[in-house]
Structure 1
Amino acid sequence: MDILAAMWRRVSVRSYDVRPVEQALVERLLGLARTTDHLTEVPPRIALVSGVERTRRVLTYMIGSYGLVQNAPHLLVGVLPEESDMARLDLGYVLEQVVLEATRLGLGTCWVTGSYDARRAGEAVGLTPGEVVAAVCALGYPARDRWGRFHSRTVRYLAGGHRRKPLTEIVFSDRWGEPWSPDSADPTLVAILEHARLAPSANNRQPWRFIVRPDYVTLALVRPAPIDGGIVMAHFALASAALRRDGRWEVRLRDDTLARECGLPQRVIPVAVFKR
Structure 2
Amino acid sequence: MNEAAILQKRHAIRKYSKEVIDQDTIRKLRQMIEACNKESGLHIRMYLQEPKAFQSFFTHFGRFSNVENYIALIGKPGEKLEENCGYYGEKIVCQAIALGLDTCWVAGSFQRKHIPIHDDEQLCCVIAIGYGKESGKPHKSKPIEELCVAETKMPSWFLDGMRCVQIAPTAMNKQQFQFTLHQDHCVSVKALSGKYSKIDLGIVKYHFEAGAGQAAWKWKD
TM-score when normalising by structure 2:
0.88
Structure label with greater radius of gyration = 1
Give the Cα–Cα distance (whole angstroms) in 1 for the partners of residues 39 and 82 of structure 2.
10
Give the Cα–Cα distance (whole angstroms) in 2 for the partners of residues 94 and 64 of structure 1.
24
SS at 1:232 equivalent: helix
Q: Does 1:119 align with 2:113?
A: yes
Conserved 8 A contact 1:19-1:73: no
Partner letter of residue 145 of structure 2?
Answer: T
Among 123, 127, 151, which residue is 1:133 paired with?
A: 123
Which structure carries more relative contact order (alpha carbon 8 Å, separation 6+)? 2
Partner letter of residue 204 of structure 2?
Answer: V
2:2 — aligned with what?
Answer: 2
- Listed one character per residue, the Cα deviations across residues 3-35 of structure 1 (whole Å, up to 9, x for unaligned) are 121111100011111111112212211221221
Q: Tell me how far 1:205 sits from its aligned partner.
A: 1.0
Partner letter of residue 2 of structure 1?
Answer: N
Give the Cα–Cα distance (whole angstroms) in 2 for the partners of residues 199 and 20 of structure 1.
27
Q: Does 1:102 align with 2:79?
A: no
Give the Cα–Cα distance (whole angstroms) in 2 for the partners of residues 66 and 50 of structure 1.
22
Conserved 8 A contact 1:237-1:248: no
Counterparts in 2 of 1:17 and 1:196: CA distance versus 1, 3 Å: same
Q: Does 1:92 align with 2:86?
A: yes
Q: Tell me how far 1:236 sits from its aligned partner.
A: 1.3
Partner letter of residue 71 of structure 2?
Answer: L
1:220 — aligned with what?
Answer: 190
SS at 2:188 equivalent: strand
Moved more, 62-71 or 198-207: 62-71
Give the Cα–Cα distance (whole angstroms) in 1 for the partners of residues 88 and 27 of structure 2.
16
1:198 — aligned with what?
Answer: 167
Partner letter of residue 168 of structure 1?
Answer: E
Moved more, 85-94 or 61-70: 61-70
Q: Tell me how far 1:113 sits from its aligned partner.
A: 0.6
SS at 2:175 equivalent: coil
SS at 2:8 equivalent: helix
Give the Cα–Cα distance (whole angstroms) in 2 for the partners of residues 214 and 61 of structure 1.
51
Counterparts in 2 of 1:209 and 1:77: CA distance versus 1, 3 Å: same
Partner letter of residue 88 of structure 1?
Answer: E
2:11 — aligned with what?
Answer: 11
- How do residues 155-194 of structure 1 correspond to structure 2 at under 5 angstroms? 162-174=139-151, 184-194=153-163
After superposition, the CA RMSD in angstroms is: 2.4
2:23 — aligned with what?
Answer: 23
Conserved 8 A contact 1:85-1:226: no
Conserved 8 A contact 1:15-1:72: yes
Percent identical among aligned pairs is: 23
Q: Does 1:59 align with 2:54?
A: yes
- Listed one character per residue, the Cα deviations across residues 65-90 of structure 1 (whole Å, up to 9, x for unaligned) are 366221123111111222x3411110
Q: Tell me how far 1:213 sits from its aligned partner.
A: 0.4
Conserved 8 A contact 1:60-1:115: no
2:211 — aligned with what?
Answer: 239
Aligned residues: 218
TM-score when normalising by structure 1:
0.72
Conserved 8 A contact 2:75-2:122: yes
